[in-house]
A and B are shown apart, each in its own frame.
Chain A
């Protein structure tokens, strides 16, 4: 873009478009934040910002295990599923990027198929399987499907990263006396670290944001994740909608995502491999 000269007119039109898009995207988010600070009586108040700010919605959801426990589940299940998916995906992606083996194209095709498969179609059979295996309403009951759906994404992202790493580095490691496993762990994996972090973030987001599996394969707060638990919020009486607590919970589960991105974005640095081969 920098090389292309832009006229002031183009600048204005681009700027306007950008502002419109950002505003449209942010209005609902800010509205949610605003709702989370409104008192129950002011929920139906049409003004955008609350007239009286209150923390009561937050203190309400954070004082009960109905939300705290699912939050812990979300973090635990997300981290474990992400870890397993990245480890498995990096091995698979390494094979896909480096080796010619029979059935490679089938494997890639299957991975793509899983990635685009409508999850809703799998709910009923998976539900029956999990009931039969005793996985229903347990952590593994969610971790396993999350890993399964995170793997295709991981394999695709990571194989692209592995392909970028010069093959001669592995040859050098082998000649230096490394076993294939040592070459992978000591040379290839450190260089693919940015790719692994990227993959981890993507898989973690998918787990964290999932609602469908979480609501279908859980029945109590012992394994229900945060997004699903919000659906079970109840108002102060049968006839009040718990809008305030829902908004507060939504803000709470958004915060880790923002922190996650801000923290890891810096680590996704390009050019870590520069200097490996001649510049």
Chain B
């Protein structure tokens, strides 16, 4: 077990392509850290550098306090689970799991003991003498995990270990991975492109984009106080809605209506020297059917009319898609990249808005309804830099690793504004 420290680690390929740009991460002993980002963001390259499968161009990598830049993978005492599992097809499950120990010249009795123990944990005991070709996808995945845990390594590295499983098995295995990590207490670095996995598994999550670290924080902090447009758009499903907004006469003019600027937000915007045109971000769950909003909550938001386009009912919640005519679309490199990653056909189709309403709602498709939007959890971004202006007080640069948990609740904008809101509520016009 060991802490892993990446200090300004950079990877430049021989053809000059910059895959990873000065990443610094401080992973504590026993921590479960997720590297997440769209394909090509450099997360797998980072993992391979930790494993020693890729050379580090610049920067330092420390495992357990030792610089391991020039050490070969076998001297780093790490175990890795590959996306394809990479099981040795000519060996039985037992031989696969014991291979590393055998190479390390461990006595056969110890190997047997450890393999049997791992097989018991992973429920593979009856499959020990079978070849990988005769196993199901889930079993192969467990063998790959078993191969890692028998070694009792300093750290586990996992490269999208669940992406080859079907949806149901993935959710089940996700829980198992989480339980396993807590049980073993081993440092784990886990790469995924799935933000749900990142949110549910990680103690801390590092969001990457185009080789750069965007934010390194707890899942809650990433969700509540994303540092920039990219993190805001990447974390959460359905994704945050982005609308164009203009500051006029102390109001934030958006297609949903004029939103009042809280004093704090106004100060922050002034301090940051924000442009007049902004991007406003609002999460689907910050909308509600206006008729279901209690009188207490109503002043904290605005009510606006909308025509329901599509309804997706999940039983517990109802997702309502509606469109708003935007005279000006939202445009930023980050949003274009996010749209591309999610495979949306029309990257500029920012005029569709998704709202998550309570299941008690009676809205129907094609109906004109009154919706309510909570303005306390509003995010405001600078279109040019993508920075979250609502958080500018924290002044954390995207590439510096944010400190975890400790300051997360205090910095959430929802918490900040709600503290101010009683004084401000008279300003809020209910439309």
Which A residues are within 8 Å of any B CB, using their own CB? 100, 166, 168-169, 171-179, 182, 186-187, 190-191, 272-279
Other A-B pairs, 5, CB within 8 Å; known A175-B52, A182-B103: A171-B51, A172-B86, A275-B140, A276-B84, A276-B86
Docked complex Cα distance between A178 and B53 (Å): 13
Q: Is there contact, CB below 8 Å, between B74 and A277?
A: no
**Is there an interface contact between A175 and B134, defined as CB atoms closer than 8 Å?**
no
B residues near A275, Cβ cutoff 8 Å: 87, 89, 131-135, 140
User: A176, B103: Cβ atoms under 8 Å?
Assistant: yes
Q: Contact: B79 with A169, CB < 8 Å? A: no
Query: B residues within 8 A CB of A179?
Result: 74
Is residue B73 contacting chain A, with contact meaning CB distance below 8 A?
yes
In the assembly, what is the distance between CA of A276 and CA of B96, in Å? Answer: 11
Given A191-B90, A279-B137: A174 and B85 interface contact (C-beta under 8 Å):
no
A177-B74, A278-B140, A278-B164 known; A172+B82 contact, CB < 8 A: yes
Chain B residue nearest to A187 (CB atoms) is B88
Please report the C-alpha to C-alpha distance between residue A166 and residue B85 in the assembled complex, in whole angstroms.
11
Residue in A171, A177, A272, A274 whose CB lies within 8 Å of B82: A171
The reply to whether A168 and B131 contact each other, CB–CB distance below 8 Å, is: no
**When chains A and B are docked, how far (Å) is the Cα of A173 from the Cα of B51?**
12
Task: Establish whether residues A276 and B132, one from each chain, have CB atoms under 8 Å apart when the complex forms.
Answer: yes
Which of B48, B84, B131 has the largest number of chain A CB atoms within 10 A?
B84
Residues of A with C-beta under 8 A to B137: 278-279
Name 29 interchain pairs, CB-CB below 8 A, sorted by A.
A100-B14, A166-B84, A168-B82, A168-B84, A169-B86, A171-B48, A171-B82, A172-B87, A172-B147, A175-B74, A175-B78, A176-B100, A176-B103, A177-B103, A178-B74, A178-B103, A186-B99, A187-B88, A191-B89, A191-B90, A273-B89, A274-B133, A275-B135, A276-B84, A276-B88, A276-B89, A278-B84, A278-B140, A278-B164
* CB-based nearest B residue for A171: B53
Instruction: Given A175-B51, A177-B104, answer yes or no on A276-B87 (Cβ-Cβ < 8 Å).
Output: yes
Give the docked Cα–Cα distance between A187 and B132 (Å): 14
Of A172, A175, A190, A279, the contact of B90 (CB 8 Å cutoff)? A190
The complex places the Cα of A177 from the Cα of B101 at a distance, in Å, of 9
Residues in B37-74 with C-beta less than 8 Å from chain A: 48, 51-53, 72-74
The answer to whether B89 and A272 touch across the interface, beta carbons within 8 angstroms, is: yes
Q: Does B222 contact A (CB under 8 A)?
A: no
Taking a contact as CB atoms under 8 Å apart, the answer to whether A277 and B103 are in contact is: no
B134 touches A172 (CB 8 A): no
Tell me if B80 counts as interface (CB < 8 A to partner A).
yes
Chain A residue numbers with a CB within 8 Å of B82 are: 168, 171-172
What residue of chain A has the Cβ atom nearest to residue B159's Cβ? A168
Q: Out of A168, A169, A177, A190, which one reaches B100, CB within 8 Å?
A: A177
* Cα-based distance from A190 to B89 in the complex (angstroms): 10
Residues from chain B with a CB closer than 8 A to the CB of A169 are 86, 88
In the assembled complex, the Cα of A215 lies from the Cα of B132 at a distance in Å of 51
Contact A175 B89 (CB under 8 A): no
CB distance from A191 to the nearest CB of B (A): 6
Q: What's the Cα separation between A23 and B77 when bound, in Å?
A: 65
Say which residue of A175, A178, A186, A191 sits within 8 Å of B79 (CB atoms): A175
Q: How far is the CB of A133 from chain B (nearest CB, A)?
A: 42
Please indicate the chain A residues that have their CB under 8 angstroms from the CB of B85 in the complex: 277-278
In the complex the two chains form, what is the Cα distance from A278 to B73 in whole Å? 24
Known: A168-B86, A190-B90. A176 touches B131 (CB 8 A): no
Q: Are A272 and B90 in contact (CB under 8 A)?
A: yes
Cα of A186 to Cα of B74 in the assembled complex, Å: 15
Complex alpha-carbon distance, A273 and B84, angstroms: 13
- In the complex, what's the smallest C-beta–C-beta distance from A103 to chain B, in angstroms? 16
Tell me the complex Cα distance, A68–B132, Å.
49
- Rounded to whole angstroms, the CA-CA distance of A253 and B227 in the bound complex is 79
| A168-B84, A187-B88, A278-B85 given; A174·B103 CB < 8 A | no
Min CB gap B371→A, angstroms: 44
State A275–B85 Cα separation when bound (angstroms). Answer: 10
- Which residues does chain A contribute within 8 Å of B84, judged by CB atoms? 166, 168, 276-278
Distance, CA A169 to CA B86, complexed state (A): 5
Taken together as a complex, chains A and B put the C-alpha atoms of A171 and B81 apart, in Å, by: 10
Residues of chain A within 8 A (CB-CB) of B157 are: 175
How far is it, in angstroms, between the C-alpha of A279 and the C-alpha of B165 when the chains are bound?
A: 11
Complex Cα–Cα for A142 and B86 (A): 43
Q: In this complex, what residue of A is CB-closest to B98?
A: A176
| Chain B 130-155 interface 0/1 with A at a Cβ cutoff of 8 Å (1 = within) | 01111101001000000100010000
Given contacts A176-B99, A176-B147, A177-B74, contact A171 B89 (CB under 8 A): no
Note all chain A residues with C-beta closer than 8 A to B147. Answer: 172, 176
